[in-house]
A and B are shown apart, each in its own frame.
Chain A
């Protein structure tokens, strides 16, 4: 009897282990292994071959003694190029700038949206959130192309401005940093609204009543009670926008001008135009390191929030 029980409990343990192992296996296969490959390539040398980089590890046969030695070649020039060439540093800085502006714009637009939805009649919250998520049902590329039609000279905005007489000629917003900000803010807004909404919706409304009861005016109550309590949502939303925005490629490629320098575009160029895989890998690794810091902050905040609950 006890044998059966222990066998069952062992099976239960095994089953639990299997459930936990699945995501780990997934991450190992599709994140850690590719990452290590890219990390390896970043130390290699670019050659004209298929694949276009020199192997890191090789066997070196000494002709005279006939002995074979293991040879590992680590090439750091790729990383030196990253620090040496202005292009990469400028691209990084510009990416961070664009991502920051996008995050702030998303926060400025997303907070009132999330607040209004969280305060709406419970029956209306579902449909309103549905509207926030609705754009995801259309292909991302199509939505960006739609923005081209809106932003180009003689596009919707340009014609509207001309028609109302605010401007005398056509206005070109497309192919500028502003077009990138508009496109990226539009794309990432739901990622800001969702976590903000979930923290604001959970907030106990009697806290605001308590603040009012103690003599606090509504605006001050918002600043001293609502805002600090929604901080986890602000941080989560900001990171969800900032992290992918730094590495964004498609939006700046399609909406940005030739001088909209972003690390994602540099990466693309190195891989596909220059076919310099080692440098591209170096750029990718450096980008990852830049992003690891905010990701770790995100993890820490989430962990702390989970602890409090």
Chain B
């Protein structure tokens, strides 16, 4: 389910293009509440038409950062530029930005139409134009027939779409979304992910989404900033974040991963060799590591990159392979998760697709199995 290709193969990658000026520039922004540092010297550049995700757990500072972009909070230090304009001291009602709130914040005393029209009325848009634009917007979110309803007469999914229509009706260049899908159930969430991406591409709006759901961030966004304790741990495309995590935190936060503690034995330009007592074998990595020989490191290997077999692979030679006993199996339909205990006591998580159809599994509880992985599978992280 993770990694549905919502985006077209031709990706826009403005951050690769040195000539592109960022649409949103966050410069060393710090926000403190009393002694608590919510956002700690964060710098970010977000480009036009990006679908940018701020991903992090609760208290990571992602929502505070979003609220500073909207103007509800002022940075304690640092500056925010939107379209080249310094936003310091500019109140929310004068910013070229709209926000979709986590709670939707629909006005309970107004109908759906009045809610959507609210922003246009503030700009003194002519009545006929307001009517047309509201109707067009409601049509786009498939709520054309619900204009006269009150918010409390709508389902959660419908309210979410009213909130989206209300935040988009002013045609902002930048839309901020605070956990836009948080209150929806799983099926509706997946459907809405598609809709959001389609709308974003159709309208050419820059989206900045705050989410704690890594799957949501992976499927929708062009780039992700993983936040932790007010600091940005890593910025990159979903693939970069997943396949090349820079730190132990990012590796563990996104998906599941196996960590083997070890020590660098050999460090060369094209490979590295790490001795790990935990893994019970030498780990051969086909890329260079900045860590010099002798330093303790962690090798991270994703569960789907480990092969599971009842026979030992012939070219193992004590590298990138281990023997263990299957302790747990979780059958998820498309894949199964195996927890394999190594003689060293370490439990390794392996996922394998259920390629064939059968009721009896070839590998079952208590079986002795061999684990092996290719040289490119591991990522060396500093400890």
| Residue positions of A touching B, CB distance < 8 A | 204, 206-207, 209-217, 220, 224-225, 228-229, 308
Q: Is the CB of B152 within 8 A of A308?
A: yes
User: Is the beta-carbon distance between B118 and A216 smaller than 8 angstroms?
Assistant: yes
Q: Which residues from chain A contact B101 at a C-beta distance below 8 Å?
A: 206, 209-210
When chains A and B are docked, how far (Å) is the Cα of A220 from the Cα of B122? 9
Q: How far is the CA of A213 from the CA of B92 in the complex (A)?
A: 5
Produce 1/0 per residue, B102-128, CB < 8 A to A.
010111110000000011001100000
Q: For the complex, what is the distance from the CA of A229 to the CA of B108, rounded to whole Å?
A: 8
When C-beta atoms are compared, the residue in chain A nearest to B119 turns out to be A214
Contact A225 B107 (CB under 8 A): yes
By a CB distance below 8 angstroms, the chain B residues around A228 are: 109
CB distance B170 to A215 under 8 Å? yes
Contact residues of B with A, CB < 8 Å?
70-72, 91-94, 97-99, 101, 103, 105-109, 118-119, 122-123, 152, 166-167, 170
Which of B91, B109, B118 makes the CB contact (< 8 A) with A214? B118
In the complex, are the beta carbons of A215 and B107 less than 8 A apart?
A: no
Determine whether the beta carbon of A210 is less than 8 Å from that of B122. Answer: no
Known: A215-B119, A215-B123. A210 touches B107 (CB 8 A): yes
What number of A-B contacts does a CB cutoff of 8 Å give?
57
Could you list some 5 contacts between A and B, CB below 8 A?
A210-B101, A212-B91, A212-B92, A214-B93, A216-B93
Give complex CA distance A206, B108 in Å. Answer: 12
In angstroms, Cα B70 to Cα A211, docked, is: 12
Q: A204-B105, A207-B105, A229-B108 are in contact. Are A213 and B93 (CB under 8 A)?
A: yes
CA distance A225 to B92 in the complex (A): 16
From DSSP, what is the main secondary structure of chain A's interface residues? helix
The 8 Å CB contact of A212, one of B93, B106, B109, is B93
Q: Which of A214, A216, A308 has the most CB of B within 10 A?
A: A214
- Lowest 10 CB-CB distances: which A-B pairs, in order? A214-B119, A215-B122, A210-B105, A212-B92, A206-B105, A212-B93, A213-B99, A228-B109, A216-B122, A215-B93
Q: How far is the CA of A204 from the CA of B258 in the complex (A)?
A: 44
Contact (Cβ within 8 A) B109 A209: no
Partner pick for A217 among B93, B166, B170, CB 8 A cutoff: B93
